[in-house]
Amino acid sequence: MVSTPRRRFLNTLGGQAAVAAAASAGSGWLWAAQAASNTVKPGTDAALIVVDVQNCFVTGGTLPVKDGEQVVPVINALAPKFKNIVVTQDWHTKGHASFASAHAGKKPFENVMLKYGQQVLWPDHCVQGTDDAALHKDLNLPSAQLVIRKGYNPGVDSYSAFMEADRKTATGLAGYLKARGIKTVFVSGLATDFCVGWTAMDARKAGFKVYVIEDACRAIDLNGSLAAAWKAMAKAGCKRVQSADIA
């Protein structure tokens, strides 16, 4: 169906009318109407992408995301609802260009201009083969089919699981998903405003339908980056959902 602005307007009105009618019928009905309208069931052509749930990004890691470990039970509970699961790992070389320590006089969370553009500088993190780069030990995804590693080119970062920061070098994930007939991806993990956000937006660019599961993610939130990421994701057509909305 063609989604014209007018059609969207009508749909919105219809939705509000339905909720208003349900409200007058009692709060139980209101809840049921809202739950029904938000629920989404991943089909056989959907994949859950679990982004960077690694020791580096949780408490005790080298680049801890606040409450990062809290995504683990949420993602474990979601996993049985998906036939297809892909896991990513941030996987940097020692002395990687995204590390502040690789730039004289620079501190973590400052910016630098690299060949491909602005780069936020981070503490050394997720160095290949270290315990810091390992997946969180409580992540329980026995049915996951692919682990894709990114950020392994010494001079180029890769927040996105699809495309490196030069915006030219593909990781191969889009080809893998397409070859397997995947049409929709659900994105979870760390961090909402960096690797999750870039992965979600690149998934849209690659032609996938995209849901971002908000409570299955946690953010770094550097200078308003979380609000900016949600805005950019919405503009790119990523749908924001909660784990409770997934059937």
Q: Which residue ranges make up the site for ligand VGL (CB under 6 A)?
A: 52, 57, 90, 122, 159, 190-191, 194-195
Least distance (Å) from Zn ion to the CB of residue 195?
7
Q: Which stretch binds Zn ion (CB under 5 A): 18-26, 89-97, 130-138, 217-225?
A: 89-97
By the rule CB under 5 A, 124 interacts with Zn ion: no
Measuring CA to CA, which residue among 159, 162, 151 is closest to residue 86? 162
Residue 100 φ then ψ, to 5°? -55, -35
Q: What is the C-alpha separation between 181 and 177, in angstroms, rounded?
A: 6
By the rule CB under 5 A, 132 interacts with Zn ion: no
Q: What is the C-alpha separation between 187 and 208, in angstroms, rounded?
A: 11
Is-catalytic flag, 52?
Answer: yes
Residue 52 or 214 with smaller CB distance to ligand VGL: 52
Look-up: residue for tokens 């080809």?
A: 175
Measuring CA to CA, which residue among 143, 138, 200 is closest to residue 173? 200
Tokens standing for residue 90 = 């941030």
Judged by CB under 5 A, the residue of 57, 72, 90, 139 near Zn ion is 90
Catalytic residue among 150, 157, 202, 217: 150
By the rule CB under 5 A, 193 interacts with Zn ion: no
**Taking phi first (over 0 means left), then psi (-120 to 50 degrees means alpha), and beta for anything else, what does residue 184 get?**
beta
Q: What is the C-alpha separation between 49 and 119, in angstroms, rounded?
A: 24
Q: Are 96 and 103 in contact (CB under 8 A)?
A: no
DSSP, collapsed to helix, strand or coil, labels residue 147 as strand
Is the preceding omega at residue 191 within 30 degrees of 0, hence cis? Answer: yes
Q: Which stretch binds Zn ion (CB under 5 A): 14-22, 86-94, 108-116, 138-146?
A: 86-94
User: Which amino acid is residue 4, in one-letter code?
Assistant: T
Least distance (Å) from ligand VGL to the CB of residue 6?
39
Is-catalytic flag, 126?
Answer: no
Residue 54 or 184 with smaller CB distance to Zn ion: 54
Q: Which does 195 bind (CB under 5 to 8 A by kind): ligand VGL, Zn ion, none?
A: ligand VGL
Least distance (Å) from Zn ion to the CB of residue 54?
10
Q: Which does 52 bind (CB under 5 to 8 A by kind): Zn ion, ligand VGL, none?
A: ligand VGL
Is-catalytic flag, 195?
Answer: yes
Q: Which residues are catalytic?
A: 52, 150, 195
- Residues contributing to the site for Zn ion (CB under 5 A): 90
